């Protein structure tokens, strides 16, 4: 079998430069969107509807759905929840449908709609993603949500960790500088991850807001084998509204 191609896109603004329609897109936003989404499914959420804009979230709130929405890390006034993974316990989310809108993560998720498949990547489900992709027989792009189209170190570290595992498994190859650079950064960070995370801008943004208690959890590996994925289906709420399920 020919090896599968693996690429890394460091920012949503670069995503149109990639050929994506026949690829699996792994969307990552470690601090905090994809960690939050994975946690919601660990705790039994039924569906998560990612929306790019605040207006879409407000419209869907009128239908009675619970809304999780933040901008620049802070809960929006009309939202029911902000974006800490610790809010989404089984008692809060089990069997529920949640509307979700964040600064970067939900933008990245909706970008991948024309690809073969969009899956949610976090350290919480990284080994399950490796196993799935190795069986997928499909080329892969890891799309980093970044920060307002800028490079984000924590998303790059995840991309490096996932790329390293996929290359070592032997089903994938890469000639992508972003992929190779992400592996080097991940290996460098592994020398002392806690110390390295001091370089992460989003860590300091969250610290200023008093929201940094989640950071160790966001870097924990393999808390679940669930892989949330984005599907498009005519929905009674709104035509062609994509939503995440497992
Ligand atoms: C994002 O969308 O970049 C993050 O979810 C932002 C955050 O959680 O503070």
pLDDT tens, residue by residue, 223-242: 999 999 998 765 555 556 78
* Dist. CA 105 → ligand 1 center (Å): 6
Which residue's alpha carbon is at the smallest distance from atom 3 of ligand 1?
104
Say what the pLDDT of residue 234 is: 55
Mutate to test the pocket of ligand 1, among 104, 106, 151, 217 (most ligand atoms within 8 A of CB): 104
* Dist. CA 219 → ligand 1 center (Å): 15
Say what the pLDDT of residue 112 is: 87
pLDDT at residue 74 above 70? yes
The C-alpha R_g of the chain, in whole angstroms, comes to 17
Say what the pLDDT of residue 10 is: 98
CATH number for the domain including 213? 3.90.1560.10
* Dist. CA 169 → ligand 1 center (Å): 31
Give the mean model confidence (pLDDT) for residues 62-85: 97
Give the mean model confidence (pLDDT) for residues 87-111: 97
H helices present in 94-227, as ranges: 105-111, 126-136, 153-169, 177-190, 193-196, 201-208, 215-218
- Structural domain of 70: 4-245
pLDDT at residue 144 above 80? yes
Strands, DSSP E only, in 29-71?
Answer: 47-50, 66-71
pLDDT at residue 165 above 80? yes
Give the mean model confidence (pLDDT) for residues 12-21: 95
- The domain total for the chain is 1
Calculate what percentage of the chain has a pLDDT beyond 70: 97
Residue 189 near residue 196, CB atoms below 8 Å:
yes
Say what the pLDDT of residue 96 is: 97
pTM comes to 0.96
Could you tell me how many residues make up the chain? 246
pLDDT at residue 42 above 60? yes
Q: How many angstroms separate the CA atoms of 214 and 29, rounded?
A: 14
Say what the pLDDT of residue 134 is: 96
Mutate to test the pocket of ligand 1, among 105, 108, 209, 210 (most ligand atoms within 8 A of CB): 105
Express each pLDDT in 171-221 by its tens digit: 999 999 999 999 999 999 999 999 999 999 999 999 999 999 999 999 999
Say what the pLDDT of residue 235 is: 52
Say what the pLDDT of residue 238 is: 54
Give the mean model confidence (pLDDT) for residues 103-115: 93
Give the mean model confidence (pLDDT) for residues 17-24: 94
Say what the pLDDT of residue 212 is: 96
Q: Is 155 in the pocket of ligand 1 (CB under 6 A)?
A: no
Binning pLDDT at 50, 70 and 90, where does residue 113 land?
confident
Q: How many angstroms separate the CA atoms of 154 and 230, rounded?
A: 22
């Amino acid at each position: 079998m020919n090896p599968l191609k693996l690429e890394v896109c460091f920012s949503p603004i670069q995503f149109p430069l990639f050929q994506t329609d026949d690829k699996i897109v792994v969307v990552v936003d470690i601090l905090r969107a994809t960690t939050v989404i994975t946690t919601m499914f660990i705790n039994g959420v039924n569906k998560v509807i990612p929306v790019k804009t605040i207006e879409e979230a407000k419209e869907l709130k009128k239908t009675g759905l619970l809304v999780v929405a933040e901008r620049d890390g802070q809960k929006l006034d009309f939202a029911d929840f902000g974006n800490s993974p610790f809010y989404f316990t089984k008692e809060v989310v089990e069997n529920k449908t949640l509307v979700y809108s964040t600064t970067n993560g939900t933008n990245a998720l909706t970008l991948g709609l024309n690809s073969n498949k969009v899956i949610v990547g976090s350290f919480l489900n990284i080994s399950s993603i490796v196993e799935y992709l190795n069986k997928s027989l499909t080329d892969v792009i890891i799309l980093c949500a970044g920060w307002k189209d800028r490079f984000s170190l924590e998303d790059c570290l995840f991309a490096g960790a996932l790329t390293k595992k996929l290359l070592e498994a032997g089903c994938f190859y890469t000639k992508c500088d972003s992929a190779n650079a992400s592996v080097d950064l991940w290996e460098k960070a592994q020398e002392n991850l806690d110390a390295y995370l001091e370089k992460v801008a989003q860590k300091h943004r969250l610290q200023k807001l008093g929201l940094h208690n989640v950071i160790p959890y966001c870097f924990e590996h393999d808390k679940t084998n669930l892989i949330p994925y984005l599907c498009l289906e005519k929905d009674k709420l709104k035509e062609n509204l994509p939503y995440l399920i497992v």
